[in-house]
Structure 1
Amino acid sequence: GGHGFPLKDGEKIIPFVEEITGGKTPAELKAWAEGLRKGWEEKQATKKTVTNAAPAAKKEKVQAGFARAAVRAAQEGLPVVSISADLPGSTGVAAFQKAVPGRSFDIGIAEANMVSTCTGLSKTGFIPVADTFSQFGITKGNLPIIMAALSQGPIVGAFTHAGFQDAADGASHEATTYFAAVSAIPHTLAIAVSCSDQAEALMLAAFQRLAQEREAGKDGESALFFAGREDFPAQLGERPNGYPWGKATILRPGKDVVLVASGPMVPLALEASDILAKEGKQAAVIDNPFVNRPDLQTIAPAVQAAGGKLVTIEDHQIIGGMGAMLVHALAIQGVAVKTAAIGMRGEFGRSAYSARELYEHFGMGPKDIAQAARKLSS
């Protein structure tokens, strides 16, 4: 895995491999090392050519927004409590635990117990938030998530390192079926957030909604948030209306094709739109966070205006994913689409330095998105 690789980049990878193999490097391993070295050289060349670039936008991990939301909810007097499974530092929730002492418990490496504990606390009036990596939340936590809904004990989930975002930990940690695993559970929302501002706004809204529903004598529903691992701009695109609950956001208008993306794929969709713009094509970009309840009021008119041409983009298997659910919902509403899907195609992931390397390896990068859009227009 990437964590076990002792070099920070590919600069010295070739002599490193030759030292390990005693100069008898197998051809496949040699080609791998040369590829890493070439990638490093290309990055260095790019750095030299970029001179008068605009100041970089603020970047941070998306999960930083989760902790801020929990702190704000506690300050508003809401009974938010954090239940962790050994990973609050990685999921970002540790910041809440430090800011609001006495409101957290660490169950240890026992995700099923974590979710079950949240359900019990929910039944007694608390608003519990469970945090772990997405792979563990939707596997070992799956049955308890179902029982939370069945028992009228809704929880909030802060599930990070989704999809190829956990590149450094390799295939065993890369959740590729998280939407499919939870989207059909009754009274359960699957929400993919693309930036820390969105994570903060929507998770705070989830806390507030649950409190309001309880005051109205209703059970409420679970809200499971999925986020990446790497740094992203704190805000993606212009959002004059903020982050309204249940809504998708048109980040860029366009009449030739619509790119609908969720979570960490939103920046890649914007890059693909830039590529197409240079060719004279107007590609709309829509951020679709509410995966299992797509906002057709926003998405359907945009798709119809583009003649039904739609590319769905997700860090997930295309079977049972965001795109499949969106296209199905559009079909039920009678919206005709000519569609392409960008996502994983029945394969597990692999180790890499960054998610971007995996996106490009598996045909999910901006160039691949742009090419899918071109084919729809041909």
Structure 2
Amino acid sequence: MPMTYDWIDIERRLGLRDAQSFARNVVEPCLRDVVAEPDGMDGAPDRMQLPTSVGFVVFLVLLFFAASILPNNFVGEVLKFILFPLLFLASIAGSFFVFKDRFIGLFLAGRDRFLLRSKALTAIAERLGLTYVPSPGGAPELLKRFAKWKFAPKELQEIATFLDDHGGMDDALADVRRSGIMAPSVAVLASVEQKEKYLKQYSEFAQVEDGFQGSRNGVAFNAFEWIESVEDAPNVHHLALVMTAPTRLYGVTQFRTKGATWPTTADVNEMKQVGLGVPEFEKRFRLRSTDQVEARVIFNPAVIERAITLAHDETLRAVAFDDLIIFDVAGENRFEMVDLATGAWSEASIHQTFANIAEMLELVDAVAHAFMLRAKSA
């Protein structure tokens, strides 16, 4: 669960004395033009109830039909695995075609909310000396593919172009993908080649949003959220925090919550377990590296404490290599000051956004301090 800070605490953490008045006088006016969407029975937009229900029923019917005609053996199971996403996409496409006007209307309303939320988050970022990137990497890959479909409506193509125009942070996104940290929380059982292919595709199709860029005490950083789709459960938001070290690292280091999966792409043959030095940390986390001294410098108790605060008791993973330190923290949607689907926002959502940004910056500061100590001891 998110930590509860009052405005005095947030202002102290951010080093921003007027954070509360800034939120009231600058941020809130940016959001007053947001038009709320009527809620349906489950909190989703009302106009999405019928398309969602129809699409889901069609998907279940197609899946049941496919399962009934496929052989009950290994080949049949493989075909079911292949057909599942194809039938799902076909159901979405069919529902979109039938209820095109509803979808387009919802997209356009979401675009307007997107612009107003971006205006508010840009104001916060600039006040903190940061840059806000609304749509890191541009339009989601799946949306781009739908937009290129010859039957796709012009409005869908315009939305994809619109998101591309608000993109950026391509290098940081590429760094996270090659780090192996943008991966599902569950282990993938497959051959090395199949696993690499799957994870590459998985990271390319992951939805990315809300990016921040800046520099703190000599450490440049990029941060954004990516969304992990979970079967039979709500989606999980991940905060990816990419920091560039002042100097190149000697080894490769990985850190994770006990029970979580390791980042997937690093060569682990030369890695050895590293003691964390604090009994409580030893119970909760695992650290391994090709350079034990460097690992202890980067993932020192102060850094781990800040990472724990940011994680809110959720899964935490990190990797350090080349000149990069990358954290991946699962949890809530940290920068959802405005719900793009419904238009909902409140003073509390603004307050929580400020608190989440403060926690993120404190982790960057802790890593910067670790490198300052490293430089002094060199």
Superposition TM-score tier, normalisation by shorter sequence: under 0.3
In terms of fraction of residues, the more helix-rich structure is 2
TM-score by length of 1: 0.26
Q: Report which structure shows greater RCO (CA 8 Å, sep ≥6).
A: 2
TM-score by length of 2: 0.26
